[in-house]
C-alpha cells in the first residue's frame, strides 16, 4: 500500500512539474507578440536628413530588416533652388541582396556611376516637394551591414548627401 501511495505522489509531482513547464512556455510564447506590439521588435523606420544650398532631403527607412520581409523607404526632397538635372545616387547597399519591387514615381532614366544606381528626374524648381517611395524585399542570404547612403546631385554636382546604414538579420 505504501508503494502505491508513493507512485501516486510521484505522478502528481510530475503532473505539476509538466503543468508549470507548459505555463512557462506559453507565457514566453505570448511575450513575443506583446513585445512586437510595443515596437521593440520589427522594422521601425527612422528618418535621416541632410540639406544643401538648393534642397533638403529626408530618407525614412528601417535601420534593421530581416531576410524574406518586405519594407519601404521614402525619400522626401524639398527644393529651395533650381536643380536643372536632378539625380538620386543610391549606394550599392540599397540594391545588394535586395529585390526592388517598385520605385514611384519612376525615374526618367537610370544609369550607373561607380557601381551606384543613378535615378534621373526632370528639372526641379524652388518650392517643389518630391516624395519617392521605394519598396524592397530582402533576400534571406543577404545578412550583414552595408551603406544605405543617398545623395542628391545636379547632374554630377553634389547638393546633399544622407549618410546611413542598414543591417540585415537572418
Q: What is the pTM of this model?
A: 0.75
Residues 49 and 77 in one domain: yes
How far is Cα 4 from Cα 52, in angstroms, rounded to an integer? Answer: 85
Give me the pLDDT at residue 32, please: 73
Residues 66 and 87 in one domain: yes
Residues 6 and 74 in one domain: no
Q: What is the pLDDT of residues 78-113, one digit of tens each?
A: 999 999 999 999 999 999 989 999 999 999 999 999
Would the pLDDT of 3 be above 70? no
Residues 31 and 97 in one domain: no
Between 2 and 106, the higher pLDDT residue: 106
Residues 57 and 31 in one domain: no
Q: In what order do the strands lie in the sheet with 98-104?
A: 45-51, 55-62, 70-79, 129-138, 98-104
**Tally of structural domains, the chain:** 2
Residues 152 and 94 in one domain: yes
- Collapsing DSSP to helix, strand or coil, 163 comes out as coil
Q: Which three cell numbers stand for residue 82?
A: 533650381
Residue 55: DSSP 8-state: E
How far is Cα 51 from Cα 49, in angstroms, rounded to an integer? Answer: 7
Three-state SS annotation for 63-74 = CEEECCCEEEEE
Q: How sure is the predictor about 66, in pLDDT bands with cuts at 50, 70 and 90?
A: confident
Note down the domain range covering 9.
Answer: 1-41
Q: Which three cell numbers stand for residue 48?
A: 535621416
CATH of the domain at 82: 2.60.40.3670
- Collapsing DSSP to helix, strand or coil, 61 comes out as strand
Q: What is the pLDDT of residues 8-24, one digit of tens each?
A: 566 677 788 888 898 88
Residues 117 and 135 in one domain: yes
Give me the pLDDT at residue 72, please: 95
How far is Cα 4 from Cα 140, in angstroms, rounded to an integer? Answer: 56
Residues 21 and 87 in one domain: no
Residues 142 and 75 in one domain: yes
Q: What is the pLDDT of residues 120-170, one digit of tens each?
A: 999 999 999 999 999 999 998 888 999 999 999 999 999 999 999 999 888
Q: How many Å separate Cα 92 from the centre of its chain? A: 15
**Distances 77 to 8, 25, 38, 168 between C-alpha atoms, Å:** 74, 49, 31, 26
Would the pLDDT of 35 be above 90? no
Amino acid at each position: 500500500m505504501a508503494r502505491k501511495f508513493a507512485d501516486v505522489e510521484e505522478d502528481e509531482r510530475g503532473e505539476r512539474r509538466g503543468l508549470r513547464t507548459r505555463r512557462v512556455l506559453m507565457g514566453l510564447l505570448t511575450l513575443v507578440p506583446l513585445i512586437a506590439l510595443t515596437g521593440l521588435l520589427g522594422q521601425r523606420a527612422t528618418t535621416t536628413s541632410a540639406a544643401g544650398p538648393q534642397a533638403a532631403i529626408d530618407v525614412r527607412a528601417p535601420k534593421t530588416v530581416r531576410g524574406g520581409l518586405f519594407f519601404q523607404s521614402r525619400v522626401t526632397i524639398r527644393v529651395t533652388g533650381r536643380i536643372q538635372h536632378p539625380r538620386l545616387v543610391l549606394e550599392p547597399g540599397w540594391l545588394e541582396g535586395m529585390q526592388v519591387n517598385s520605385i514611384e514615381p519612376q525615374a526618367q532614366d537610370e544609369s550607373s556611376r561607380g557601381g551606384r544606381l543613378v535615378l534621373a528626374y526632370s528639372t526641379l524648381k524652388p518650392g517643389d516637394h518630391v516624395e519617392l517611395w521605394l519598396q524592397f524585399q530582402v533576400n534571406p542570404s543577404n545578412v550583414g551591414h552595408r551603406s544605405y547612403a543617398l545623395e542628391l546631385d545636379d547632374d554630377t554636382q553634389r547638393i546633399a548627401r544622407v549618410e546611413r546604414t542598414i543591417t540585415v538579420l537572418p
